[in-house]
Amino acid sequence: KRYTKEKEKIEKYGRLKFDDIKIMANISVPQEIEVAKRKGADGIGLFRTEFLFVGRDNPPSEEEQYLVYKKALETFYPEEVVIRLLDIGGDKKLEYLPVDDEENPFLGLRGIRLLLKHKEILKTQLRALLRASPYGNLSVLVPMVTLPEDIKGLLRIIHETKEDLLTEGRKIGSFKLGIMVEVPSIIWLIDKINPHIDFVSIGTNDLTQYIFAADRNNPSVSKYYQDEHEIIFEIITTIAEKARNFNLPVSVCGELAGKEDAVEILLQFGVKKFSVSSFKVPFIKRKIYEIQTVKKGNMKAKTSDDPSLLS
């Protein structure tokens, strides 16, 4: 009983809204859209669309995808919904998309690298996303960007897809395009793609795996996989500085963003957007509330419906 009371108390923090900080949700399946909303997420910061594609014998149709994306955009409107292009490869395989056996799948055909080789899958997903774009709160996120060529190749296909849809008489809205910063090379190439992107999102799970050369799923090397190591924070500072120079908003969407101790450090580096598992949203909001209350000696946060909520 005491546990339930405590849980209810924490859940209330989900209703907090901060002036300049957003706590968004990472989701994987359509059912999580409502859960994220209930937990008080300020939008969706990472929709891992691969879960719409796995565990079946054929890819989801354009219409099926469109309906899911539309539901997410409608549920959270006007807050931002960041939908990531299919991030398959690495440890995730699709029955209907045979790829050659790879000795090092995490260093192989994964994310945007694979999409650029299987343009039909990419085009169908882009069509569904562009059809949902008139809602106005869509952001599209590109996984595993390694070189500027990845973005250039994608832009060509986005352009073709737009032309096709317009020829069919469909409406297209505006949307933002962003990249996952999770492959180290791209950190020093942001200046080359800056004109083409609107935001960056730091994926600390893969970034950690690629910085320490330690498979994120291999327990034998787990001691090398240290996502709270000081060099990870140093790298995040570098990314945040570069992003600031180019006026690109930056968010953190890896597991690190949902670790309470890390949040305080990330805030100091100027990170203002965090995307965490839905159930963690109220905990992270509570943490930020506590930091702000202690630091400023007053209540910076406000709730939309009940200011005395937390008293």
> From the annotation, which residues make up the binding site for phosphoenolpyruvate?
48, 84, 205-206, 216
- Tokens 């250039």, located at residue: 152
Give the range of 70-78, 95-103, 170-178, 204-212 binding ligand PEP by CB under 6 A. Answer: 204-212
Nearer to ligand PEP, 91 or 163 (CB): 91
Q: Which of 32, 80, 150, 182 binds ligand PEP (CB under 6 A)?
A: 182
Q: Which of 206, 249, 273, 292 binds ligand PEP (CB under 6 A)?
A: 206
Residues with Cβ < 8 Å from 142, sequence gap 6 or more?
84, 85, 111, 112, 150, 151, 154, 177, 178, 179, 180
How many whole angstroms separate alpha carbon 262 and alpha carbon 132? 35
Catalytic residue, from 25, 33, 44, 253: name it. 253
Q: What is the DSSP annotation of 2-46?
A: HHHHHHHHHHHHTTEE-SS-EEEEEE-STTHHHHHHHTT-SSEEE
253 binds, among ligand PEP, Mg ion, none (CB under 5 to 8 A by kind): ligand PEP
Q: List the interface residues with ligand PEP, window 39-58 (CB under 6 A).
A: 46, 48
Helix (H/G/I), strand (E/B), else coil: 48: strand
Nearest to 291 by CA among 261, 269, 270: 261
Q: List the interface residues with Mg ion, window 167-226 (CB under 5 A).
A: 182, 203, 206
Nearer to Mg ion, 207 or 243 (CB): 207
Amino acid at position 115, single letter: L
Per the annotation, binding residues are: 48, 84, 182, 205-206, 216
> In angstroms, what is the minimal distance from the CB of 26 to Mg ion?
11
**Does 253 qualify as catalytic in the annotation?**
yes
Nearer to ligand PEP, 181 or 301 (CB): 181
39 binds, among ligand PEP, Mg ion, none (CB under 5 to 8 A by kind): none
Say how many C-beta atoms besides its own lie within 10 A of residue 58's C-beta.
9
Q: Which of 75, 146, 194, 205 binds ligand PEP (CB under 6 A)?
A: 205
Helix (H/G/I), strand (E/B), else coil: 181: strand
- Asked whether the beta carbons of 23 and 281 are under 8 A apart, the reply is yes
Residues with Cβ < 8 Å from 152, sequence gap 6 or more?
196
Q: List the interface residues with ligand PEP, window 216-255 (CB under 6 A).
A: 253-254
Give the range of 37-45, 63-71, 203-211, 299-307 binding ligand PEP by CB under 6 A. Answer: 203-211
Per the annotation, binding residues for Mg(2+) are: 182, 206
> In angstroms, what is the minimal distance from the CB of 104 to ligand PEP?
16
Nearer to ligand PEP, 26 or 65 (CB): 26
Nearer to Mg ion, 150 or 206 (CB): 206
Q: List the interface residues with ligand PEP, window 68-107 (CB under 6 A).
A: 87
254 binds, among Mg ion, ligand PEP, none (CB under 5 to 8 A by kind): ligand PEP
List b or e across 253-290, with b for residues whose CB sees 16 or more CB atoms inside 10 angstroms: bbbbbbbeebbebbbebebbbbbbbbebbbbbbbbbbe
The gap from C-alpha 203 to its chain's centroid, in whole angstroms, comes to 8
Q: What is the DSSP annotation of 63-114?
A: HHHHHHHHHHHHHHTTS-EEEE----BTTB--TTS-----S-GGGSS-THHH
Residues with Cβ < 8 Å from 101, sequence gap 6 or more?
none
Q: Which of 203, 249, 258, 282 binds ligand PEP (CB under 6 A)?
A: 203
Give catalytic residues, as residue numbers.
253
Residues in touch with Mg ion (CB under 5 A)? 182, 203, 206
Residues in touch with ligand PEP (CB under 6 A)? 46, 48, 87, 182, 203-206, 253-254
